[in-house]
Structure 1
Amino acid sequence: MKRTIKKVAVLGSGVMGSRIACHIAGAGLPVLLLDMVPKEAADSTDAGARNKLVNDALQAALKSNPSPVYTKDVAKRIRTGNFTDNMKEIAGYDWIIEVVVERLDIKKIIFDQVEQYRKPGTLITSNTSGIPIHLMAEGRSEDFKKHFCGTHFFNPPRYLRLLEIIPTPETSSEVVDFLMDFGSLQLGKTTVLCKDTPAFIANRIGVYGIMAIFGLVEKLGLTIDEVDALTGPVIGRPKSATFRTADVVGIDTLVKVANGVADNCPADEQRAAFAIPAWLGKMVEGNWLGDKTGQGFFKKTKGTGGEKEILTLNLSTMEYGPRQRPKFATLEAAKPVDDLRTRLSMLVQGTDKAGEFYRLFHYGLFSYISHRIPEISDEIYRVDDAMMAGFGWEIGAFESWDVLGVEKTLSKMKEAGYAVAPWVDEMIASGAKSFYKVENGKRLYYDVSTKSYKAIPGGDAFIVMKNFAGQTVWKNSACRAYHLGDDVLGLEWNTKMGSIGGEVLEAIQKSISLAEEKYKGLVIANDTPNFSAGANVGMIFMYAVDQEFDELDMAIRQFQQTMMRARYSSVPVVVAPHALTLGGACELSLHADKVCAAAETYIGLVELGVGLIPGGGGTKEFAMRAADEMHEDEPENITLKNRFLTIATAKVATSAQEAYELGILRKGLDEVVMNQGRRISEAKKSVIEIYDSGYVTPVPRTDVKVLGRSGLGTLLTGINGMWRANYATDHDALVARKLAYVMCGGDLSEPTLVSEQYLLDLEREAFLSLTGEKKTLERIQSVLKSGKPVRN
């Protein structure tokens, strides 16, 4: 049968339950969220009192930061109730997710009720992370067992992309296949098939990694601040690194998982690594559990001046003290290197204590993952997928081993006394020198069972640009254009924070020319942590400080011309942004034929923050869209005002869905792709669809209605009000007036039809004049130094 999910019931509204409900509602599905009736309302007939527990939990989730929803409207798709009054309603739902407390007896009570009311064929899953899935299925009906498995979301569900699917021996293969596809396509998850082993995959490897680091703390005499400096972004891990991650997750949770592995995995060769250190036991006893109790490895306090201060725990004295900035020669040498793979190789070669840490940590990790195949997974890529999606690793563990050289590292591991599973030696002996390799744009993994390389399933849906390095069509030092197959060209760049400078603009122009010559169109995307933080402000600052205004004028013209080239090319140009997509990157998206944005895209025109206006066509584009959106029955300056405020307040959409509300993405044209890994593939499909449907080159606009003085007067009045109320500084007001002037088409006596080029010229002139302002330069300098603009 063809299975569909139209409605989902979530049983349990705790931290995970409420946020799973929010994420599923964010994917567009109606959700029924249920929990217990509070004891004090047991005899009440008031629905509000009986649903107080679930309603309070949902409201707490909606108010939490970061937000669990893409837009505020998502909450309208969630209906609340309680187990007593509303459990019978699950009969109308297609998927029932249990997320109650981690106690088998309580879960069995809930499943008794589920069996009573569910329709045959309905999916039932548990979000448990600590109870074997097969134990929950015991004693259930055949239909229940067939449609039951584990679906382990990671917290927060919106942001951590991992969804572990854990079947029992009785689970239907159709159910497993469906959930793997549904989780990936509809929920945007990296779905990983797991065996029903303690802690599944991600927590088994991740918690081992943390506990192994705790062991190295004692062995090498490292401090908390030193470890977090060594194990954060410098090795492709989240900013929260090790100890901060433990505080966020909850130290009690960490200890619970570690104890669970130690108790339930007697054959684990590293079982001793899961033993709880004395200092960690003291922290649990003292209720120092991290963020949830106000202190853990770190503690927030107020300094003498009332400012917030973060103190670090000294594991020797168990007292808190000021944070220390660690200094390691290895770390300082590697930090300036942008490429993670190159950086990792440098780090493990360090001759100081940091280098020793990196070697021992990686040797232990590589040894451990080798022994987990086939215990927790038959395929190595599932382990890497789980760690990247669940723990935020930039590259997986087996991939890291590839980066450092499998055979070379193995030799050093053995010298240091680290054993590996026999299959690794067999792999090397067979002539296979890496866990992964790329052929014809497809990534292959070494399959242990067949001792051969196989294509990663579903690879066609997950285009990774670098996998097409063998099909490079053109390149410069920062960019590469690849043939992605099916007559579609792909462009990516790898600059610091994806900044857009001269080389990137050259690459966009060249790629469009190449696509026009012999391809159906162009996809612009990349596989870096962020799409782009915008134009290269360092270059702007350099030109402005040196008063090289002719050079600056040429640079702005080149940016504008490149954006217009994207808009008016003779083949479709589709941009596939993700994560940070700011300033110039947003302008590029505004000028594309279509945008295929990852759901987690944070996009906006942020130039006002550094004392500038969007100068790459962004101001022009918003003025055009405001003109096109004006209705006869609506005061014209309301539409213009809304567009103006979006730029003037430097609003950034907190999701691609919100980008529709800000008018950055176009409803009915631009597309939101829930799964970030699929956005490039979807962009490629869009290029082909647009081209094959008979693409016609757009014609530059000469009919843009601007309001002149009538609109300008309204906007200037608003700016003056903001300034008088101290919501805007003198410089904010100056920049906003320049923006208003451009968006209204200048000081025209009446509404007038103008061309795009007219607006671009006004935009460029205003941008140039602002680069001569001292306070603008102060803001840009502040961003370059600290990453944040000064408020002047």
Structure 2
Amino acid sequence: MKRTIKKVAVLGSGVMGSRIACHFAGIGVQVLLLDIVPKDAADSSDRKLRNKIVDDALAATLKSNPSPVYTRDAIKKITTGNFDDNMKDIAGCDWIIEVVVERLDVKKIVFEKVEQFRKPGTLITSNTSGIPIHLMTEGRSDDFKAHFCGSHFFNPPRYLRLLEIIPTPHTSPEVVDFLMQYGDLYLGKTTVLCKDTPAFIANRIGVYGIMAIFKLVEKMGLSIDEIDALTGPIIGRPKSATFRTADVVGIDTLVKVANGVAENCPNDEQKDTFKIPAWLDKVVAHNWLGDKTGQGFFKKTKGGSGEKEILVLNLSTLEYEARKKPKFATVEAAKPIDDLKTRLKALVSGNDKAGEFYKQFHYGLFSYISHRIPEISDELYRIDDAMMAGFGWEIGAFESWDVLGVAKTAEAMKAGGYTVAPWVEEMLQKGFSSFYKVENGKRLYYDIESKSYKPLPGGEAFIVMKNYENQTVWKNSACRTYNLGGDVLGLEWNTKLGTIGGEVLEGIQKSIALAEEKYKGLVIANDAPNFSAGANVGMIFMFAIEQEYDELDMAIRMFQNTMMRARYSSVPVVVAPHALALGGACELSLHSDKVCAAAETYIGLVELGVGLIPGGGGTKEFALRAADEMHEDEPETITLKNRFLTIATAKVATSAAEAFDMGILRKGHDEIVMNPGRRIADAKNSVIEIFDRGYTTPAQRTDVKVLGRSALGALYAGINGMWRANYATDHDVVVAKKLAYVMCGGDLSEQTLVSEQYLLDLEREAFLSLTGEKKTLERIQSVLKGGKPVRN
């Protein structure tokens, strides 16, 4: 049957329930959020009192940072109510999600009520993280059972991409297929099909990993600070590493999952690893449960002079003490290595305490995941997908094993007393040396049942640039241009944080030229953690300090020319940004034929923060768009002022949806791709679609209306007002006035139509003049040293 999801009911408004409701509202779905009636309002007819629990929970969620919604307008799609008065309203919902307390008896009571009002055929799922899914359907109708399964979201649902789908033996295959696809396409999730085993996939492996580290803490005498230094970004894991993650999740939650596995998995060869160490029992007994209780493995306090200080728990004394920055020779040697896979090899081959930790940690993990097939999953890639999407790992465990060499590592594991599952031994004996491989741009995985390689599901929908390395058309030391098939080229660059310097600009120009020769167009994207943090300010600083203004002028011209080349090429150029897309990356997006942005794209023109104005065409483009948006029925300066303030406050969109509201993305033109894994394929399809419907090179604009002196006076007055109210420093005023001058087209006596090149020249002159300002250089130097601009 064809299903559409127009309205969802979320039953339970706790931390997860409210956030799941927000995520659905964020993608445009109507949501009914219900919870119990407070005991003291049981006899009241006051709707406000009866809905106090659900309303307070939603209000608290909306105050959380980062925001659980893409835009504040999404909140309007959520209606609140209670189980007594509003359970009947679920009859109008297409999907009912249960998120009540983790007790089977309570869930069964809720499902009994649901069955009274639910329409036959309506989806019904549970967000449980540990209760066996099949136990919840006892006593329910056949229709309920056929449309019921587990749908385990990870917290926070907007940001953690994993959605585990856990069917029961009664669940209809059509329901499973629909939820897998809907989660992927509309919710932006990595949907992972799980077996109904304790803790499913991600928590089973993730909690094993944490508990195994706890064992190594005791065995190797490592401190909390040492472990978190060893298990964070250095190995491609989140900054929260191990102990900080436990504080965020809740130490009691971690213990509960570990106990659940220990009790319910009698055949798990590592069940002893899940036993709670004595020191952890004491931490829980003290109610030091992490962020929820104000202290856990870490504790925030105020120092002697009132500044915030973070203390760390000494696991031997169970007393808090000052943090110590650990140093390991292996880690220090590996830090300069940008490529994670190369860095991982260096870490595991270390000969100090850190190297020994990495060996034991990885050997234990590899042994454990090999033995979990086919218990928790028949396919190895599902384990990697779950850990990357649910725990924020940059690469999965099987992929890490590939990096270190499967056969070589298996031998080292056995020599160290770690077992390897028989299927891995058999795979190696048959001459298969890796769990994954790439052929013709397609990633394949080793399938245990057929004893052969199979393509990962998704095919053309999930393009990974690096899989096309054998289709490289052109490269320099920073960039690669690939043939993505379908007569489309793809460009990516590998600079630190994706910064844009001379070689990247060369790569953009060259890729466009190659596309114009014999292809339909160009996709610009990458698979790095961030798209791009913008222009290479280090290069700007170097030229400015040495007063190489001719070189600087040439560099700015090249940047502007490259952006205009993207705008006025003879083939479509589509940009697919994700995560950070700041400064020059935003300017590139502004000048593309189309933007296919991941929902989580944080994009903006941030140059004012370092005492500059956007110099790669961003200021020009905002002035042009302001001119096009002016209406006769409102003062012309309103639109210009709004555009000016967006740049002057260095505002960054906190989502792609917000980028539309800010006028960075164009309504009816650019698009949001909910699943970031699909954005490159969507961008490629957009290139083909734009080309095939008859692409023609746009004509450069010579009719941009600028308002001159009249608008300049109004903007100057606003800037001075901000300065008088102490919202702007003296140097902020200098920079903002330069920006206003460019956006008004200079000190013209009346409204005038000008060309894009006229505005680009003004923009470049203003940018150059600001690089000669001492306070601008101080701000740039502050960013280069500490990552943040000084307020001067």
TM-score interval, smaller chain: over 0.9
Alignment of 1:381-780 (within 5 A): 381-780=381-780
Report deviation, 1:459: 2.2
Give the letter aligned to residue 596 of structure 2.
Answer: C
CA distance in 2, matches of 1:342, 1:732: 43
Name the structure 2 match of 1:191.
191
**5+ long unaligned stretches in structure 1:** none
Match of 1:25 in 2: 25
Distance in structure 2 (CA, Å) of the matches to 1:280 and 1:636: 65
Deviation by residue 1:183-214 (Cα, 9 ceiling, x = unmatched): 00010000000000000000000000000111
Q: Distance in 1 between matches of 2:662 and 2:3?
A: 35
Instruction: Output the amino acid matched with 1:153.
Output: F
Cα deviation, residue 460, structure 1:
1.4
Secondary structure (helix, strand or coil) at the match of 2:73 reads: helix
Measure, in 1, the Cα distance between the counterparts of 2:123 and 2:611.
54
Q: Which amino acid aligns with 1:483?
A: N
Normalization by structure 1: what TM-score? Answer: 1.00
Between the aligned partners of 2:329 and 2:786, the Cα distance in structure 1 is 23
Counterpart-to-counterpart distance in 1, 2:372 and 2:113? 37
Mapped partners of 1:95, 1:112: distance in 2: 16
> In structure 2, what residue type is equivalent to 1:140?
R
Amino acid at match of 2:144: F
Instruction: State how far apart, in whole Å, the 1-side matches of 2:7 and 2:488 are.
Output: 38
Identity fraction in percent: 83
Report matched runs for 1:277-426 at 5 Å.
Answer: 277-426=277-426
Output the amino acid matched with 1:367: S
- State the alpha-carbon separation in 1 of the partners of residues 187 and 430 from structure 2: 40
CA distance in 2, matches of 1:213, 1:495: 33
Partner of 1:3: 3
- For residue 176 of structure 1, report the CA deviation from its aligned partner: 0.2
The offset of 1:611, in angstroms, is 0.5
- 3-state SS in 1 of match to 2:785: helix
* Distance in 2 (alpha carbons) for counterparts of 1:230 and 1:762: 50
Q: Distance in 2 between matches of 1:216 and 1:711?
A: 66
Map residues 239-258 of structure 1 onto 2, 5 A cutoff: 239-258=239-258
Q: Deviations over 1:302-356 (max 9, x none)?
A: 0111010000111111111111111111111111111000000000011110101
**Alignment correspondent of 2:108:** 108
Deviation of 1:138 after TM superposition, in Å, equals 1.4
How much does 1:129 deviate? 0.4
For 2:127 and 2:192, how far apart are their aligned partners in 1? 14
Q: CA–CA distance in 2 between the matches of 1:602 and 1:382?
A: 29
Give the counterpart letter for 1:524 in structure 2.
I
User: What residue identity is the alignment partner of 1:742?
Assistant: V
Structure 2 CA distance, aligned partners of 1:292 and 1:424? 42
Distance in 1 separating the partners of 2:477 and 2:413: 36
Q: Distance in 2 between matches of 1:398 and 1:508?
A: 35
Following superposition, the deviation at residue 139 of structure 1 comes to: 1.5
Q: Hey, what's the Cα distance between the residues in 1 that align with 2:674 and 2:475? A: 30
RMSD of equivalent CA atoms: 0.5
- Spell out, residue by residue over 1:636-658, the C-alpha distance to the aligned partner (whole angstroms, 9 max, x if none): 11100000000000000000000
- What code does the residue aligned with 1:718 have? G
Provide Cα deviations, 1:211-247, integer angstroms capped at 9, x if missing partner: 0111111111111011101110010000000000000
CA distance in 2, matches of 1:275, 1:775: 58
Distance apart, 1:671 and its partner CA: 0.1
Letter in 2 for 1:579: A
Q: Distance in 2 between matches of 1:714 and 1:382?
A: 58
CA distance in 1, matches of 2:647, 2:337: 34
Distance 2:449 2:298 in 1: 45
Give the letter aligned to residue 398 of structure 1. F
- 1:409 corresponds to which letter in structure 2? T
The answer as to 2:102 corresponding to 1:95 is: no
Alignment partner of 2:668: what SS? coil
CA distance, structure 2, for counterparts of residue 745 and residue 611 of structure 1: 20
Secondary structure of 2:164's aligned partner: strand
> What secondary structure, in the 3-state scheme, does the structure 1 residue paired with 2:301 have?
strand
Q: How many Å apart are 1:130 and its aligned residue? A: 1.1
Partner residue, 2:64: 64
What's the secondary structure of 2:446's corresponding residue? strand
User: In 2, distance between residues paired with 1:700 and 1:466?
Assistant: 35
Q: Distance in 1 between matches of 2:431 and 2:184?
A: 35
What runs of 5+ residues in structure 2 fail to find an aligned partner? none
Between the aligned partners of 2:323 and 2:666, the Cα distance in structure 1 is 47
Where do 4+ consecutive residues of structure 1 move more than 4 Å?
A: none
Cα deviation per residue 1:126-179 (whole Å; 9 max; x = unaligned)?
Answer: 000010000001121110000000000000000000000000011000000000
* Cα deviation code 1:236-276 (max 9, x no counterpart): 00000000000000000000000000000010011111111
> 3-state DSSP class of the match of 2:101?
coil
Kindly state the Cα deviation for residue 458 of structure 1 after the two structures are TM-superposed.
1.2
In the TM superposition, residue 3 of structure 1 has moved relative to its aligned partner by: 1.5
Shift of the alpha carbon at 1:111? 0.3
Alignment of 1:35-54 (within 5 A): 35-54=35-54
User: For residue 542 of structure 2, what is the amino acid of its counterpart?
Assistant: M
SS in structure 2 of the partner of residue 344 of structure 1: helix
| Aligned equivalents of 2:696, 2:48: Cα separation in 1 | 57
Give the Cα–Cα distance (whole angstroms) in 2 for the partners of residues 768 and 321 of structure 1. 50
2:147 — aligned with what?
147
- Give the Cα–Cα distance (whole angstroms) in 2 for the partners of residues 510 and 99 of structure 1: 53
Alignment correspondent of 2:138: 138
What one-letter code is carried by the residue in structure 2 that aligns with 1:188?
Answer: G
Aligned-partner Cα distance in 2 for 1:28–1:438: 37
Distance, in Å, in 2 between the alignment partners of 1:613 and 1:283 is 52
Q: Deviations over 1:667-691 (max 9, x none)?
A: 0000001111111111011101100
- Structure-2 separation of matches of 1:193 and 1:302: 46
Structure 2 CA distance, aligned partners of 1:542 and 1:367?
A: 50
User: Partners in 2 of 1:778 and 1:635 — Cα distance?
Assistant: 38
For residue 457 of structure 1, report the CA deviation from its aligned partner: 1.1
Corresponding residue of 1:790? 790
Give SS of 2:672's match: strand
Letter aligned with residue 553 of structure 1: D
1:698-750 Cα distance to aligned partner (Å, 9 max, x none): 01100000011011001000000111111100011100000000000001001
SS of 2:445 mapped into structure 1: strand
Q: Aligned partners of 1:772 and 1:266: how far apart in 2?
A: 70
CA distance in 2, matches of 1:464, 1:658: 26
Letter in 1 for 2:476: N
**Which stretch has the larger CA shift, 13-22 or 38-47?**
38-47
Give, as a single letter, the amino acid of the residue that structure 2 aligns with 1:518: K
Tell me the distance in 2 between the aligned counterparts of 1:459 and 1:739: 46
Distance between the aligned counterparts of 2:472 and 2:721, measured in 1? 54
Q: Distance in 1 between matches of 2:774 and 2:209?
A: 50
1:754-783 superposed Cα distances (whole Å, 9 cap, x missing partner): 000000000001001111111111111111
Give the secondary structure class of the aligned counterpart of 2:225: helix
